[in-house]
A and B are shown apart, each in its own frame.
Chain A
Amino acid sequence: MTTQSNNTNAAKRPPKRSHWQIMCDVIFALIIRELKTRFGANRLGYFWALAEPMAQAAVMALIFSLLGRSSLSGVPVALFMLVAILPFKLFSKLLPQLSAAIESNKGLLGYRQVTASDPIISRLIIEVITFLIVYLLLMSTMAWLGYNVIPDDLLELLGVSALTIIMATGLGLMLCAATTWWKDTGKIVSMVMQPMFFISGIMFCATMIPQQYWYLLSWNPLFHVTELSRDAYFSAYQTPVGSFEYLGIWAIASFTFGLMTFQVNRQRFITT
């Protein structure tokens, strides 16, 4: 038990902070708040956050292994699937999370310390860290099962992941602004993301498709994400479609446009 005088001492006014420190404090507070509301319901909360993508990836890998295909392009099928599922999951989690970031923290924007970009940054940090942990956990499990899980080109892999994150952030910022104009934006996003799972090259890769049909898929930046991820991970797989230029343009364009729409609409986040 603390005494009264102790109490007042401990709650003493903190020293003046710089803008940067205020922002760090706010983002830290928001991250704690997000983790609490998302996983706080039960103690296994964060475990489920990790288990869900892991289970999904494992089931997909298992199905394909059971179908009798043990190797695609000389790579074990389970690993081949995982390397594509994980960045796709990252994208499809980031998008709805970011687009709802402001809406679900609205009450907290009432404090002048909290600016509209803070919830976006906190959710970004949470999702990216979760992605990294899931990635490492899954790959360690695969290594334990006897697979060779060391990526052949780590730098390329990091590059693809970074571009994926930038692209998702840009689109997320745009959707965030769109949500203030039209509440149901989120529903459209989840409707669009459903078929994306099937056309983004998760269960197949470009070399399995005749060349004249590539154009049906190559418009999709997520297809480039999965292709390039595999290309980076397995030197045995050379992607004929995946292009850093195309993905990079998507990432830069959506990020630029996202920042623009966000900046133009920032008043709406507070007032509506």
Chain B
Amino acid sequence: MIHFENVSKFYPTKQGRHYVFRNIDLDLPTDRNIAILGPNGVGKSTLIRMIGGTDMPNEGRIRSLKNISWPLGLQGGLQGSMTARENVKFIARIHGYKNTRPIEKRVQEFAEVGKYFDEPVKSYSSGMRSRVTFGLTMAFDFDFDVLLIDELGAVGDANFRKKSEELLLSKYETTKLIMVNHNIRELKKFCQTGLVIKDQQLHFFDDINDAVELYQATYVKNNVK
């Protein structure tokens, strides 16, 4: 379970506080995959970052006894001035691995970025970045109970997508996903439950179809009009 206890989050703007979430009390299950739905700017990435411990709520707190990954996405996670190998070593070290070589090897094999593995990450294309980011989770043997994925699959080519999909599905039993993606079809493939962000609140649905319905009722129609 991931417990939200009276969580509020705002960003200071020139027009005062912009609340993204207000007084959220919620228990999210961690035994099923959750899709997060909402249009751009509604707070999906903020939510993922807060669950991942990269960002802090302004009020309240988020607790969990589960082992939750850092947010896997295109933003952050990898330091641009370091090579992929150095990034991998760093991450392995902060997770307490003394011998980083096997992890390096496995990320390298999975990412298939060739000699760019030893070039600074800032010289990568976004597809290459996502390959390395994804390779990282795979190399850690998925010792996470929950994997946070923030629109990671969107940039990969067909071959890589297939590979990462297979990987995710094969780990289904032990590792659950919390996923942000704008492709509803993709979300339905992985997730059984859904979370819609609406009016600074989180609405959780046991069935993803209900979540998609609410999402389309609130956001899609309005946008079309």
Contacts and interface: CB of A to CB of B under 8 A. Distances in A.
B90 A13 contact: no
A224 B175 CA distance: 60
A56 B191 CA distance: 63
Interface in B67-96: 70-71, 76-82, 86, 89-91, 93-96
Interface string A106-121: 0111111110000000
A25 B96 contact: yes
B91 A267 contact: no
Nearest to A271: B55
A74 B29 CA distance: 77
B60 interface: no
B141 A105 contact: no
B77 A13 contact: no
B127 interface: no
6 contacts: A2-B102, A10-B101, A36-B82, A105-B79, A107-B78, A271-B55
A17 interface: yes
A110 B70 contact: yes
Contacts of A11: 97, 99, 102-103, 106, 139-141
A17 B102 contact: no
A26 B77 contact: no
A142 B140 CA distance: 51
B52 A13 contact: no
A108 B128 CA distance: 19
A14 B67 CA distance: 13
Interface in A1-48: 2, 6-8, 10-15, 17, 21-22, 25-26, 28-30, 32-33, 36-37
Contacts of B93: 25-26, 28-29, 32
A86 to B, nearest CB: 30
Contacts, number: 88
Contacts of B99: 10-11
B56 interface: yes
A14 B98 CA distance: 9
Given A28-B93, A37-B81, A37-B82, 12 more contacts: A2-B102, A7-B105, A10-B101, A10-B102, A11-B102, A12-B141, A36-B82, A107-B80, A111-B91, A112-B52, A267-B56, A271-B56
A32 B100 CA distance: 13
Range of interface residues on A (Cβ < 8 Å): 35 or more
Contacts of B112: none
Contact of B54 (A7, A14, A270): A270
B94 A113 contact: yes
Nearest to A13: B143
Contact of B90 (A14, A33, A112, A267): A33
A13 B144 CA distance: 10
Nearest to A26: B94
Contacts of A6: 102
